[in-house]
Structure 1
Amino acid sequence: MGDSKFFTNDLTNTLFDKFSGILAEMRGLHSFHAVAGYFRSSGYYAIREKLQGLGKIQILVGINIDDIFHRYNKSMMFLPGDKVYRQARERFQNDFVEDIRDAGYYRQIEEGVALLADDLRTGKVEMKIHATKDLHAKFYLFLPEKHTPHSDGWVIMGSSNFSESGLGLTQPPRYELNVAMKDFDDVAFCKAEFEKLWKEGLPVTPDDIERFEAKTHLGQAPTPYEIYMKLLIDYFGDQIEDDFSLDVPEGFMDLKYQRDAVGQGYQMLKRYNGYFLADVVGLGKTVIATMTARRFVEENSLHSSRILVVHPPKLLDNWRSTFETFGILKYADFVSCGNLEKLFGEKTDYLPLEEYDLIVVDEAHRFRSDMSNMYDNLQRVCKTDRIRIGRVGGVHKLVMLVSATPLNISPRDLYNLLLLFQDKRSGSIEGVPNLQNYFAPRIGLYTKLMSPTNKVIDIEAIKTIYEQIRRDVIDKVTVRRTRENILNYAEYRDDLKKQGVVFPKIEKPRGLVYYLPEKLKVLFNASMDVLTERLKYARYKAIESLTPAFAARYANAPQISAALAGIYRVHMVKRLESSFEAFRRSLHNLRRNTQGMVDMWEADKIVIAPDLKVKELQDKGFELDDIIDKGIEKFGGSKEDFVYRRDAFYPWFIDDLKSDIALLDDLIDEWERVTEDPKLDKFVEEIETRMLAPGENPTGKLVIFSESKDTVHYLERALKERLGRSDILSATSDSRKKLFETILANFKPRPKGCKPKDDFNILISTDVLAEGVDLHRANVIVHYDSPWNPTRLMQRNGRVNRIGSVADTIYNYLFYPSAEGDAEIRLYRNILAKLQGFHSAYGGDSQIFSREEVLCSFELFNPNIGDDVDKMLQYLDEVRRFRKAHPADFERVRNLPVKSRTGRCASRTGGPKKDTALVYVRSAYKQEFYKVEPNDAPPAKPAGMDRPGFTVQKERFTVAPLGFLEAAALFRAAPDEKPLPLSERHYQSVSAAQRRFDKDVTDMLDDAVPSSSEQDKTTKTAERFLKWIWRSGQHPATKEHCEILGHYVEAGTFTKLSRELNRLERRYRRSEIGFEEVEKAIRAFVIRYHKSEKRSGAGSDPRSCVVLAEYFE
């Protein structure tokens, strides 16, 4: 092996080592000749010093001209020679520029380019490009002045190009295989071939190098102001020129803040395949979404664009009328969020899923849970690829999620919504290609912080979680403005003023407190004790009460029972908090449902079938045998599958049921004797003294919300009697449709010239009116009870806090939970914590729930979030003004090459200190801004070996990532600021930033990062099961199906798929089904989920490049 002529770039046996040995030891060496497919200045610089003293250096570079042939669709002989050479020269120029762009940020690289130009100018080096053949050969000749059979001479031939990696200088070295020969005949043959090729080559002159150099950062000298503008141009992209001129139909105001939302959102839509339109309630999201949809139709194609709008049932008319007014109704279909199954199957009025291009999802927060069939259906709709590709390219559908409250309860809400247009483990959001690995630890920490076992909720920790998510994810895929953001921006503010639009002032929340008389307080506390400590809720623990032989049919039986009982316990406490009337009715309902289970016990026929709605059927008077017959009809099989005998249960089950009935009978008896209602008394007092006072309530309209339908009806009756008024209207799910037009006529502002109606002035409603209804003739809103989901409060407030509100001020009244009730279910603290999370993630323009606790104790509203949006708009406005005032300079700055840099003075007040570098780095996966400062700590010992011609820099710097706003503030410069010469020190600082970036990308892309999420375990089980089926299956179609599903599972495209595969695996493992049934199920999954080609995520090239840099002297 030691005498072999072959060698690789392994350890000390690299091409560079072979060159070094020949150049040092060959007798009579006179000339060096190179033929290579690629030439890189880094390779030349590495060996230049060793070539000094040679009489002749000739380098011939091959140019791949296949695409030149293809462009003209002709053979070479018919192409004009000048045109070929011109295009070959252009190709070499492009390779040269690419070389400078992709090379590391080293002084030696730049010196290598300058030295090459000098050597060409002095004649030390000759260089040609070969354009008449597709030259793939790579060989290197070392010759004496006269080559004879008696003189030395070498030829090295193989795979290595004339580049740093070809020479084996990169770490780790790229594998190359070369052979070194010195036999006269071999060397003479290659010498003759070289001479023939050299004659055919086109010379590269010093002027060429200088012209090429001008296309790179080496030929530029931008000012600090131009670097600053380049930063803004790169960051905002097409949004700068996106002040499009969409005509607004008559009857709609042409508002600039809405136009800008369209521009910003449309760019996100095309970049990420989806985004959130999350402006606060009342700013016109339906109009913005419609304008965005029209923008898509106009750009994509008027003939091949289809839109699907997914909407709550009550908002169909609003969406249809808005689309019709904007002229795009004919391009759209509409489907209710609860009827998505109508999109599937052969008999449907809708187009095939692949024919829709844009999906608009209104009230998208309804899809925050990934456990429902509704979510699975929508995910299938959104992730079925397009088949008609218009001018807006790409096979992926574009998804617009419209919601003022995309985050309801936990970070999981946002995660699930993101998965409607991103894959779990193959996403396109910069910096977060693996959403599962990013969200799993944050969801886990949030769950731990919100655990009922914690005596105190750590609001600051929750705030930190959401601030991270906002910076890393939300900012990139969300358009959200509050009223404060808009009013703080002069151009928007002036536009609103000119059009007569006034946002009402929002008063701080007004808490309402009522006190119980001593006797009633005793009953209240005793009831709370029964509800939380003594009542077993046995009616909801039937599965847990089954003996092991029968309970095995149900996975996680104890957990299911505990969850059901816990839900009902919270429900009962909340009903007691809502109103005494609602509580009384809930006691009767629980008593009746428990008695129904006792009746089944006594009949020895206990039905456990949640999907059968046994309680409802019993309430409707169905006999038990009729209910069982319905179950057999619904589920198939026999009644033994869901009907159990008494001996299937532990004996204590009937004891707990009867104990619950006795406790409930006592409570019902006690509460039936209660005639007082201090909460109602307090409410009536507030209505008469404040809520309807003309000074605060000029229209005399009042809107009241409650979670409980029973409370709504009770309040309607009680207020009519106590206030002596007949103009009180109530709305629930039962009456909404019938009363909708009446509600609008009395509570929605009318167009000018139309007389408003005042038949009803007090409206009491459940949350059926919390979304999609304009009630802003009213300016006073009352929350009679507190919803478990705090974003409901925002949605309720949004009914009266809207563009065109009649009054100048909005008043928000709330009844807080009692101390006794809150001690049990922590409603107050949960609402505050969840609202804190929402505001930390999305911001807001008003306090929602509390004054003292929100502002002081919990700092719920963070004004910095509003400032961020305002500053972003200011930077966008600044670069737009630069483009308008200096269009030629704008184009020149826009085209500045990567690595553009400048030197600046560190003396300005508040600016970076001396020897600080600001660096903007980008790759296909992410972009980042860094501030690099000298580190006073002792330098770390460098790892690895020094490379010839390069010095591995020891880490002597603190490299801190910056947000865009921080970076823009530091890069900001005046137009007349002069650049300073760059010192050699700046190379080390910029390289440190690029090393940090590359390390961050490597860590980010490491799929081995452990995940604590249950979904990750589910995924692994699904993958193992599919691999086992693939190995076990004999039919080729089964193997193909496993491969198709395996891709979706690996990428995390469809959330429910992995869970379904896990269920299938469990059933097979328990011998409930055979392998044939498994194959059928796999085929069914493919039919359900596979409607498109393989999806792709972020770009595969992880290489980074320095976009911009500044160094402060």
Structure 2
Amino acid sequence: RDHVLQDLLVRRTRTDVQRYYHADLHFPEVVGPESLHYRLSPSLSRLFAHTVRLIGPRICSFFGTEDSSGPKFIASDFHSIGGLTYSRYRALEFLTTPAHIKRYAWRNMTTDRISRQLALLSQINLIKRFESSFTAFKISLRHLRQKTQVMIDMWEHDAIFVCPAFDINALFDLPERYKQTGIRLTFDDVAAEIRQKIAALPPEKNAKGQNAEYHRDDFHPLYIEALHSDLEFLNALIDDWNNYSDDPKLDAFKRALVPVLLDPARNPSGLLVIFTESADTLHAVAHAIESVDPDLPVLTVTSANRHDVEPQLRANFDANYRGTPSSDFRILVTTDVLAEGINLHRANTILNYDTPWNATRLMQRIGRVNRIGSTADRVYVYNFMPSVEGDSIIRLVHKAHTKLQTFHHLFGEDSRIFTSAEEVVHHELHPDTGGVSSELERYLYELKRYKDAHPARYAHLLSHPYPIALGVQLPQTQGDAPIAPDPQEPTEGEVPELAPGSTLCLLHTPDGHSHYTLVGPDLSA
């Protein structure tokens, strides 16, 4: 920061803009962020804690180090793990033939490490869906069960496909394919289809034979036990959660919608922007709004329909829209597809229904409404915080806070993003001179104004063989001191009197002396 960014980076914060360009540009004031909370019933709290334990155990290796005879199994009691092993994503870890294992190893990434990372990603995604909404979580549980069942079916048919190039789970989703095509397929039909796809791959797409069909004998026999263990846990979780149709987070949202988020005192435009990472959560939120007030028009946007609804989106939420503004929609519910590249600043209230894994997304989301040209004087930011239980595993709040605080300290920010605990810093690039209000920056600002007003005179002074420090006496100004570095304090009588429109120059000559001279409007010295 001190040795690189300070000299290379000129960052115009809103403090700069408000100081120097307040007559031309206007930013709204950011109020908040304010946290929204929800409570679980005692029975739901117990199920919540039980679920977190089952889906969030530590992802550990099933095997020891690999040698010439293959991996050595070190854990046989899957129930002792205490939860899901995400074995559907760990088939490579159970391969026993060195030649097969070598196909998937890459640089310093062993099959064991690759498998554990895939399992960890699946676990994080499941927990994040849990925090997003119960609707999204239930759908994810069913998807993971379907994928686990596909692997068990392949094991039972002795045709196990490991194909990074294809979506094996989608190909074996027979009910969905029947819904789309009206054709009833069998396991053997899909297996033959996959074999044809593998054979049709160009050599460069399958050089190491990574897309291949294996048999039960190619895997450690305990793999099927791991799969059945996961399936048992998933069936139990799905049965437990099917007994609960309520979502306390969604209920808290419905209670806050009209009196808080659409409060006319804070939200005079009556427009609201809601962000979520999950399309499933998006639909649940949209239905919740409809249940509160069917007359509240809602626009939902995902990657699937963004292009189609963009004209409506801009007409209703973009304050810079050049066409005729529309008021067809009051609430926008969107995924992160709109977190950048779009103006939504007719609205001044934003709700982060869930917390994105990348904390930068939070800044980008708020930036959609916190923009130059906003129709409101204040922007209000609300955040639903992750649960303590879930966050203890993925530490989402800690990671978001740490990353945002790093941005604040390194670059300077104008407002808090996620929590009230963030320390907003404006001047870390120049801590010794006060940052954006430093003498150097004020001098550079005045120098730029002088260059714009007197380009010929500026070029003349720039071509002078000796170093020059400038003080500018602008027209209609009589008593202001010139804003300039003063390397040598002159004695009384040494500084000539400035006429309006003239330029005072302090010349430093090679012999070590300094003297003042005047440059008039005609460039005469």
Give TM-score, length-normalised by structure 1.
0.37
Q: Deviations over 1:521-572 (max 9, x none)?
A: 1000000000012100001111111115221222221111111111111111
Aligned to 2:91: 542
* 2:155 is aligned with 1:631: no
User: How many equivalent pairs are there?
Assistant: 434
1:820 shift after superposition = 0.6
* Corresponding residue SS for 1:805: coil
Q: What is the distance in 2 between the residues matched to 1:571 and 1:1108?
A: 71
State whether structure 2 residue 197 is matched by structure 1 residue 648: no
Contact residue 612 and residue 631 of structure 1 kept, 8 A:
no
Q: Helix, strand or coil: the match of 2:32?
A: coil
Q: Where does residue 519 of structure 1 map in the other structure? A: 43
Question: Secondary structure of the equivalent of 1:509?
Answer: strand
Shift of 1:687: 1.3
CA distance in 1, matches of 2:408, 2:199: 50
Provide Cα deviations, 1:1013-1038, integer angstroms capped at 9, x if missing partner.
Answer: xxxxxxxxxxxxxxxxxxxxxxxxxx
Q: Offset at 1:632? A: 2.1
Q: Which runs of 5 or more residues in structure 1 are unaligned? A: 1-469, 902-968, 979-1106
**Larger helix share, 1 or 2:** 1
Q: 2: distance between equivalents of 1:552 and 1:1108?
A: 74
Matched letter for residue 530 of structure 1: L
Per-residue Cα deviation, 1:578-606 (whole angstroms, up to 9, x for no partner): 00000000000111111111111112121
How many angstroms does 1:787 deviate by?
0.3
Q: Could you list the per-position Cα deviations for residues 1035-1065 of structure 1 after superposition, in whole angstroms to 9, with x for gaps in the alignment?
A: xxxxxxxxxxxxxxxxxxxxxxxxxxxxxxx
Aligned to 1:1083: none
* 1:488 equivalent among 6, 13, 19: 19
SS in 2 for 1:788: coil
Aligned in 2, Cα 1:475/1:892: closer, same or farther, shift over 3 Å?
Answer: closer
Give the corresponding residue for 2:504.
Answer: none
Q: Distance in 2 between matches of 1:531 and 1:562?
A: 15
Give the 3 Å change call, closer, same or farther, for CA 882–559 of structure 1 in structure 2: same
Relative distance call for 1:977 and 1:611 in structure 2 (3 A) is farther
Q: Which amino acid in structure 2 is aligned with residue 535 of structure 1?
A: L
* Cα distance in 1, alignment partners of residues 195 and 511 from structure 2: 73
Q: Against the structure 1 CA distance between its residues 873 and 606, is the aligned structure 2 distance closer, same or farther, given a 3 Å change threshold?
A: same
What per-residue deviation string (whole Å, max 9, x for no partner) do you get for residues 442-487 of structure 1? xxxxxxxxxxxxxxxxxxxxxxxxxxxx333334554532222211
- Contact 1:716–1:764, Cα closer than 8 Å, also in 2: yes
Of 104, 120, 124, 1:554 maps to: 104
Give the CA deviation at 1:634: 2.0
Deviation of 1:645 after TM superposition, in Å, equals 1.1
Task: Confirm or deny: 8 A CA contact 2:162 2:210 kept in the other structure.
Answer: no
RMSD: 3.2
Ranked by relative contact order (alpha carbons within 8 Å, sequence separation 6 or more), the top structure is 2
Q: In structure 2, what is the equivalent of residue 239 of structure 1?
A: none
Cα 1:861–1:650 shift into 2, 3 Å: farther
1:528–1:893 CA distance, 2 compared to 1 (3 A): same
**2:355 alignment counterpart:** 786
SS class of match (2:382): strand
Shift of 1:690: 1.5
Q: CA deviation at 1:838?
A: 1.9
- Counterpart residue type for residue 874 of structure 1: R
Matching residue's letter, 1:486: V
How much does 1:880 deviate?
4.1
Q: How does 1:85-96 map to 2 (within 5 A)?
A: none
Given the alignment, which residue of 724, 745, 762 partners 2:315? Answer: 745
Equivalent position of 1:877 in the other structure: 445
| 1:509 and 2:38 aligned | no
**Secondary structure of the corresponding residue to residue 383 of structure 2:** strand
Question: SS at the partner of 1:802?
Answer: coil
Distance 1:725 1:891, change over 3 A: same
| Aligned-pair CA distance for 1:750 | 5.7
Contact kept? 2:135, 2:280, Cα under 8 Å: yes
Identity of aligned residues (%): 39
Instruction: Tell whether the 8 Å contact from 1:719 to 1:725 is kept in structure 2 after alignment.
Output: no
SS state at 1:837 partner: helix
* Matched-pair contact (CA < 8 Å) for 2:275–2:351: yes
**1:587 corresponds to which residue?**
141
Deviations 1:802-829 (A, max 9, x none): 1211111100000111111111111000
Helix, strand or coil at the partner of 2:121: helix
Q: Once the 2 structures are TM-superposed, how far is the Cα of residue 618 of structure 1 from its aligned partner? A: 2.4
For 1:751 and 1:554, how far apart are their aligned partners in 2?
Answer: 51
| Equivalent-residue separation in structure 1 for 2:216 and 2:116 (angstroms) | 21
* Larger gyration radius, structure 1 or structure 2: 1
Offset of residue 740 of structure 1: 1.3
Q: Does 1:823 align with 2:389?
A: no
1:568 is matched with 122
Question: Which residue of structure 2 aligns with residue 229 of structure 1?
Answer: none
Q: 1-side partners of 2:215 and 2:249: how far apart?
A: 47
Aligned to 1:424: none
Cα distance between partner residues in 2 of 1:880 and 1:719: 52
Residues 707-749 of structure 1 deviation map (CA, whole Å, 9 limit, x = unaligned): 0110001111121012333501211111111111111111112
Q: Given the superposition, is the C-alpha separation of residues 889 and 483 from structure 1 closer, same or farther in structure 2, using an over 3 Å criterion? A: closer
Q: Which amino acid aligns with 1:743?
A: L
Tell me: CA distance 1:601–1:635, structure 2 relative to 1, closer, same or farther (3 Å).
farther
Other-structure match for 2:54? 530
Quick one: structure 1 residues 971 and 673, their matched pair in 2 at CA, closer, same or farther if it must change by over 3 Å? same
> 1:799 and 2:368 equivalent?
yes
Partner of 1:709: 279
Aligned mates of 2:219, 2:7 — CA distance in 1: 54
TM-score normalized by the length of structure 2? 0.76
Q: 1:524 to 1:751 in 2, by over 3 A?
A: closer
Over residues 74-125 of structure 1, what are the superposed CA-to-partner deviations in whole Å (9 max), with x where a residue is unaligned?
Answer: xxxxxxxxxxxxxxxxxxxxxxxxxxxxxxxxxxxxxxxxxxxxxxxxxxxx
Name the CA shift for 1:977/1:833 in 2 (closer, same or farther; >3 Å): farther
Cα deviation for residue 973 of structure 1 reads: 3.9
Match of 1:733 among 286, 303, 306: 303
Q: Is 1:666 matched up with 2:215?
A: no
Q: 2:293 aligns with which of 713, 723, 727?
A: 723
Say if 1:835 and 1:860, in contact at 8 Å, map to a contact too: no
Q: Please say if residues 515 and 678 of structure 1, whose CA atoms lie closer than 8 Å, have aligned partners that are also in contact.
A: yes
Is 1:976 the counterpart of 2:505 in the alignment?
Answer: no
Are 1:678 and 2:248 an aligned pair?
yes
Could you tell me which residue of structure 1 aligns to residue 497 of structure 2?
none
1:1108, CA displacement in angstroms?
Answer: 13
Q: Which amino acid aligns with 1:877?
A: Y
Change (3 A) 1:781 1:882: closer
Asked if 1:699 is matched to 2:269, the reply is yes
Q: CA deviation at 1:675?
A: 1.8
User: Is the 2:28–2:370 contact (alpha carbons within 8 Å) kept by the matching residues of 1?
Assistant: yes
Which residue among 403, 406, 410 is the counterpart of 1:841? 410
Question: What SS does the corresponding residue of 2:373 show, helix, strand or coil?
Answer: coil
Distance in 2 (alpha carbons) for counterparts of 1:616 and 1:506: 45
Query: Partners of 1:787 and 1:1108 in 2: how far apart?
Result: 63
Between the aligned partners of 1:593 and 1:722, the Cα distance in structure 2 is 36
1:868 aligns with 2:435: yes
Contact 2:198 2:211 in 1 (8 A): no
Task: Go from structure 1 to structure 2 and tell me whether the alpha carbon gap of 1:795 and 1:751 turns closer, same or farther (over 3 Å shift).
Answer: closer
Structure 2 residue matching 1:729: 3-state secondary structure:
strand
Asked if 2 retains the 8 angstrom alpha-carbon contact of 1:775 and 1:800, the reply is yes
Give 1:877 deviation, angstroms.
2.4
**Are the structure 2 counterparts of residues 524 and 892 from structure 1 closer, same or farther at C-alpha, using a change threshold of 3 Å?**
closer
1:193 corresponds to: none
Note the alpha carbon deviations across 1:783-809, whole angstroms, 9 max, x for none.
000001011011111111112111111
Amino acid paired to 1:471 = D
Q: 1:658/1:744 Cα in 2 relative to 1: closer, same or farther (>3 Å)?
A: same
In structure 2, distance between residues paired with 1:516 and 1:1109: 78
The 1-side partners of 2:9 and 2:169 are apart by 44
- Would the aligned equivalents of 1:836 and 1:861 in 2 still touch at CA under 8 Å? no
Counterpart amino acid of 1:842? Answer: F
